[in-house]
Amino acid sequence: MSGQLAVTIDIGTTNSKVSLFEITTGKLIDRTTFRTEKKEDNFGELFDLDSIWTQLLTILKKFISKNSGNIDSISISSVGEAGVLADENGKIVTPLIAWYDKRAIAYIECLTRKEKMKIYEITGLPAHPNYSLPKIKWLVENSKISKLQKLTWLNIPDLLCYFLTGEIKTEYSMASRTLCYDIKKRQWSKEILNLFDLGNIIQFPEVVNSGDIVGYTDCGELEGLNKEHISVRIAGHDHMVGALGIGLKPKELLNSTGTTEGLLLISDSNFNDAEHLENSLSNGIFTNSDYYTLFSSMPTGGNIFAWYRELFNKDTVVFLEECEELYQYYINNCVRLRNSLLFIPHLNGSGAPFKNSQSKGLLYGLTMETTSKDILLGIILGLSLEMKHMANCFPLNDIQRLVVIGPAINNPLWLQMKADALNTELKVVKMDEAVSFGALKSAYPNFSTETEYESFFPNSKRVMEMDSLLEDYINLYNKKKQLI
């Protein structure tokens, strides 16, 4: 190692974090968080690449100037699916479409069932506009770029590594979110590129392991960084990197919470079969490429609390007080779930088993006496039932416990409801920013430190209530599908 410190970068949907760690101990030395800026065009939402890069570079220069000669590495994780196209001269020629943007939906809707099955067979992914390939197709068709040259797709970590080092590579967990990577053969799929009429235009970077060195800052051209010999690495897709950070084991189901909410299972054999296709679950390759992943996300997760607070003009203090009060009511059996609002939280589309970007939320049970606190309880109950409905698509008989990371660890009501909904032990990882810590572990795989846990156990009475409510939830869920 050329230094005793390491930088990790986590580009998230809402916020991005740049952290400085001591390598030998994992001690956090410094961290700066900035908002992941967005902007709109005539078709949807973009990540504001100029703003993100400017803020990121400013922070990196600050860290490096204060610790010159003592930083060994920079490791990068981010949301999946989002990226840009670069031309043959390495110039970025397209905007950075947000991962959740739906502008490319037409390229998915025109696929036949047979074509969708072929895509799933090869990539392990259900055909959906969130993934990279339909976005690439849209960019080729709608951007003023020459189609007489090869264009290279760069995911966000690939792009930032390129800016820092001049080198272009990608990583397995990022590649397997593109809708174009053959997860069995471990190679890019020419067949799927041709399916989208992109075989003669689009190419992808070489795929390397999470934590492998892509290049060095002194090979790049960035003033303030090119005099430092710092290795730059891709950690991978944020949910997967968070799982690496907390040491997720097979037979543990990870519940990764944040702006969205995800469920993740890892195994040394892949899950690619007709049943998981029917339930729209996503297969992939883990940051440790010896393992495969089974993953699904709820597009509405923690972002629903921001919606609630804005809708009812609640500040953070009041919101947290309401959650604590409801938690005390809940654990003291002062809340009858049967009398609660039934809420389907599809405010930003739906995930498995009915993955649909056009899906809308539904709230049943409102009366003249309903209060904002009743709605908050309904929201948390709805999130828990939605997670249970989605988790039922996973091989639950093989799962020993649910492991939770992210902002949900600070909401005991939500945690207890998750344990009751799944009728399983819930292990809460008391780790600040598991994704950042996972990025550190990807660069230094022999590094280990003690992790603090807290356990929540299901209440048998609440488990029965949750099971009963799930039947009503699914009935409402299926009725709602008919409206789309």
- Beta strand pairing call for 71-78 and 231-237: parallel
Amino acid at 464: M
For residues 143 and 160, give the distance between their C-alpha atoms in angstroms, rounded to a whole number: 22
Residuewise pLDDT in 10s, the chain (484 residues)? 566 999 999 999 989 999 999 998 888 999 999 999 999 999 999 999 999 999 999 999 999 999 988 999 999 999 999 999 999 999 999 999 999 999 999 999 999 999 999 999 999 999 999 999 999 999 999 988 877 789 999 999 999 999 999 999 999 999 999 999 999 999 999 999 999 999 999 999 999 999 999 999 988 778 778 788 999 999 999 989 999 998 898 989 999 888 788 899 999 888 877 777 788 889 999 999 999 999 988 888 888 999 999 999 999 999 999 999 999 999 998 888 888 899 999 988 888 888 887 888 999 999 999 999 999 999 999 999 999 999 998 988 888 889 998 888 889 999 999 999 999 999 998 887 889 999 999 999 887 777 788 999 999 999 999 999 999 998 888 888 887 7
The structure's pTM equals 0.87
Helix and strand numbers (H, E) in the chain are 15, 25
Contact yes or no for 101/46 (Cβ under 8 A): yes
Contact yes or no for 155/51 (Cβ under 8 A): no
Eight-class DSSP state of 205:
P
Query: For the chain, how many residues are written?
Result: 484
